[in-house]
Structure 1
Amino acid sequence: MISLCSDWEFTREWSAGFAHGEGRFPLVDLPHTAGEVPLHYAKPEDYAGICGYRRGLSVPLEYRGKRLFLQFDGAAHFAEVYLNGEKLAEHACGYTAFRVEITSAVRYGMENRLAVRLDTTENPAVPPFGFVLDYLAYGGLYREVWLDVRGADVIEDVFVTTPTLTRAEIALTVSGSGACRRVTLLDAAGAVCAMAEGDDNKYYVNYSNARPWTLDEPNLYSIRAELLDASGAVTDEKTVRFGFRTAEFCRSGFYLNGERVFLRGLNRHQCYPYMGYAAPEALQREDARILKEELCCTAVRTSHYPQSRHFIDACDELGLLVFTELPGWQHIGDAAWKRRSVENVREMVTQYRNHPSIVLWGVRINESLDDDDFYRETNALAHSLDPSRQTSGVRYLEKSHLLEDVYAYNDFSHDGTAPGAKKRSAVTPDMDKPYLISECNGHMFPTKSFDPWEKRQEHALRHARVQNAAASDGEISGCFGWVMFDYPTHKDFGSGDRVCYHGVMDAFRNPKLAAALYASQ
């Protein structure tokens, strides 16, 4: 794919003429935040509004006969895409990628004008919005944008599952006239390991020399799918990375490749000081490294939305398990809002399902009330798109209706004197289903990095008590502390300066004493 991350004109005040090239505006590169925010007292007004991004797009004549797509990895939060003044598409989610075909709209051999109208406000029609959030949802084209040049026939998707540690099953989605297929297994260095067998769009590889993906040795492979013309020339190809691994949550815990692993982890927001969500690849990868190598976590929960593919790629490479979930926080909107949320599930699963690090889909709005019809639909959709992974949904409710595979509960019961965790039997309505603690501590004991020693010590001990209680219970699959680092929030929350000092690190990823508890493991 061709990067389109440089030389965008940007305005905080969209006008109809912007899409047609009127005016001149400062140039920015992506990732970009719609407005820089202060470290303290940040508020939506710092970035919210209707803004515009615009750049030229040269398409050479030799691209005629091919199919052209724009890919937006993250546009927060309601995007309208224009080419040469014509609106081509819109997308209502700031946390998932989307693609726009421009084949018939583009002017070949000429300079085209690409523009994006971006509503960065907390639009109540767009999940996760509609009520107050305990975090800021920054705006902007905060992930990369690409031009994808494909053949006349296109491999839309390659989905790889590993039912055993030596077998990969591959499902292709192809649009076009039905060209011949070739599917190849590659190792991490790109060397050919085996050719897949099968026909049409279903293939498989049995590879006895496969090295499994584990936490200590996260071995990665790739499947390269190609379309061939009558002469055997490649007309289109798509390569996806995966790992040979099995993952299962049971009543007795979580099992990776048949071995029990306790999910000792932290929740993670994707914000950074001043830049909001607009962190480049290096910072996304650095957070994964910190979680794995400095904090010694085995898992991370991407609260409360899908996060950068660079972060998930790093989790794949480092051996860090991931619980990811659809965008949302407590609020469930009307029927149209729910339809968009269901689409969020579709995008999340199809975009991230080849990552070996992801072991659990969150298909329920974080801490929302029961809504059986809605959650039957999200759960069924996730299972239909990815039968290889289990589902969950984060609750603060005891004995909530369990429609998913794993009961995930935010256990904030520990107050310094109470037991570290509630008994599983007091929380879940089904003792035969797997159980994990999705959040703990956090707002129960906010602690700044410069607080007195005694408070910082108690903060660390509270994390220790909860993690110890969870790890010593043979029927709890894992425990995710709240939260990796301090983060800005709305005026309704935080410590008066609109910052939640809930992290085991400060906003700059400097460790507090509580971080030592995780690092010691």
Structure 2
Amino acid sequence: MDKINLHGSWELLLDEEQQGIKEHFYKSETPFPKQIQLPTTISEAKLTPRRDLASTDHLTDPYAFEGFAWYRKTVFLPDNCKDYDWELYLERTRITQLYINGVEAGSFDSLCTPHCYPVTPWIKSGENQIVILVKNIGYPTNGGHMTSPDTQTNWNGLLGALELRPLPRERILSLRLYPSFSGQSLTVRGRITPCAGKLELLIQDAGENIIIRTFHQTENSDFECRIPLENKLLPWSEYNPVLYQLKAVLYTGGTAADECSQSFGIRDFEAGKHHFLVNGDPVFLRGKHDGMIFPLTGYAPMNTEEWLKVMGTAKDYGINHYRFHTCCPPEAAFQAADQLGIYLEPELPFWGTVTSPSQEGHNEELQQYLITEGFRILDTFGNHPSFVMFSLGNELWGSKEVLNGILKAYKAHDKRHLYVQGSNNFQFTPCILPE
């Protein structure tokens, strides 16, 4: 069954005073007076009165809106919809709360990664009403350049892919790739739904020619398979950004139950004594600060073509490295960097002080949110060869022990990247942490 694309016309109700939860705006009888064509933002759609006051120290959003925004759409599902599990996929947004057919179905608060809602219990064949509450206030973090007016603006909207996805009951849940140029291997780690099955793993080139085919028997939900490469694949670097495709097919009962694909590049990115090394060769990072500043829209592009244009221009001027200041770009930026050969360093959306529980002003909710957001970034974008470094934020202060502990946890979770405590931390007394 094909996924259902939710792009197009949605009803919209602006709730600047945040009364909608108490007033049950998610019920079908509530009138939604506006229409909006998603994906977009309220500002881009010009759905608020224009402000003539202009700021001189940051971008001016003439149609700014902050508060609750309620988005509603009626969707029809086929009679056999209950043969599948269903997921609502929102590629990039703010804090969201989901209601299906008048019932709350969960909430997500990631600023940097997609909101993926399992919605099987709430959908039915025929007519379904989807209501998404988007909040661009009350963030767990200050958001850094993900929300600041001098970069993206604090937009409210839904961007990128918006889809209802049918998922087979027996399926591949995750796929993480660990390529090694020096070890000439590709280690595939993943998870499937509990079932007895067999995985077919195919490595393909750009022309979809099969270079390596192997099979792996799955005995439980988690699996790991090491594929010897024997110098059959070219290495990835800024000078030769060669990409390959891993296709995984899950067989149960002799038939293909599910399949998924993931592009990758064979590369090692390491810290040498005096240089960074790519596949053993020294590299000099000719980089730029990037806060995802796109003033014509107020948000970063969500398609690869736009990022290819932007990053391609930068590479023409000799840039080979992007440091994303307190922000993480969307999937399209990683794809463009993979194709062009640009080394990326996303950061947690934070600019401030990290404290220990014993310190005055400690905010445990904020700290746990940031740590969780980091794991989400690693899991979502970690397969991209362009993702070579990860930073905890900008100009951080506070507890060196806590910063070191966060780095240690990330390194234990995913060793594919280099990790740094932050950019310009402890400005007047720089320090090197053990991790």
Matched residue, 1:269: 291
Cα distance in structure 2, aligned partners of 1:4 and 1:191: 34
Give the superposition deviation at 1:48. Answer: 1.5
Mapping 1:151-190, distance limit 5 Å: 151-164=168-181, 166-190=184-208
Question: Partner residue of 1:429?
Answer: none
Query: Distance in 1 between the 2:433 and 2:402 partners?
Result: 11
CA contact 2:300–2:329 (8 Å) conserved in 1: no
The partner residue of 1:113 within 116, 124, 129 is 129
Q: How many pairs were matched up? A: 397
| Pick aligned residue for 1:258 from 280, 295, 319 | 280
* 8 Å Cα contact 1:267/1:303 also seen in 2: yes
Q: What is the Cα deviation at residue 404 of structure 1?
A: 6.4
CA contact (8 A) 2:8 2:39 kept: no
- For the residue of structure 1 that corresponds to 2:298, the secondary structure is coil
Instruction: Summarize the Cα distance change of 1:340–1:65 in structure 2 as closer, same or farther, 3 Å threshold.
Output: same
Flag the 1:404–1:350 CA change in 2: closer, same or farther, 3 A. Answer: farther
Mapping 1:373-412, distance limit 5 Å: 373-392=401-420, 393-396=422-425, 397-403=427-433
Cα distance in 2 between the residues matched to 1:27 and 1:286: 32
- Closer, same or farther: CA 376–45 of 1 in aligned 2, 3 Å: farther
Q: Which residue of 2 aligns with 1:325?
A: 347
Aligned residue for 1:466?
Answer: none
1:16-49 superposed Cα distances (whole Å, 9 cap, x missing partner): 4442232244333333113249895226981311
> Residue type of the partner of 1:380?
K
> Against the structure 1 CA distance between its residues 34 and 285, is the aligned structure 2 distance closer, same or farther, given a 3 Å change threshold?
farther
Contact 2:181 2:235 in 1 (8 A): no
1:86-105 to 2 correspondence within 5 Å? 86-105=103-122
Contact 1:19-1:82 at 8 Å conserved across structures: yes
**8 Å Cα contact 1:346/1:381 also seen in 2:** no
Counterpart among 361, 367, 373 of residue 338 in structure 1: 367
1:280 Cα deviation from its structure 2 partner: 4.1
Separation of aligned partners in 2, 1:191 and 1:317: 19
Q: Specify the alignment match of 2:37 in structure 1.
A: 29
Q: Do the aligned residues in 1 keep the contact of 2:43 with 2:61 (CA within 8 Å)?
A: no
Q: CA RMSD in A?
A: 2.5
Which of residues 396, 399, 417 is equivalent to 1:371? 399
Larger relative strand fraction: 2
Structure 1 residue 401: Cα displacement = 4.2
Q: Scaled by the length of structure 1, what TM-score is found?
A: 0.71
Does residue 81 of structure 1 match 2:98?
A: yes
Tell me if structure 2 keeps the 8 A contact 1:338–1:374.
no
Identical aligned residues as a percent: 19
Distance 1:90 1:217 in 2: 42
How far is 1:234 from its partner? Answer: 1.2
**Alignment of structure 1 residues 362-511 onto 2, 5 Å:** 362=391, 364-392=392-420, 393-396=422-425, 397-403=427-433
Q: Which runs of 5+ in 1 are unaligned?
A: 406-521
Residues 49-103 of structure 1 deviation map (CA, whole Å, 9 limit, x = unaligned): 1112222222212332221111221112x11111112111111122221211011
Deviation at 1:307, TM superposition (A): 0.8
CA distance in 1, matches of 2:433, 2:115: 29
Q: Matches of 2:64 and 2:353 in 1, distance apart?
A: 24
Task: Please state if 1:350 is matched with 2:372.
Answer: no
User: Would the alpha carbon gap of residues 28 and 381 (structure 1) be closer, same or farther in structure 2, given more than 3 Å must change?
Assistant: farther
Task: Pick closer, same or farther for the CA change 1:26–1:192 going to 2, 3 Å.
Answer: farther
Residue 228 of structure 1 aligns to a residue whose secondary structure is strand
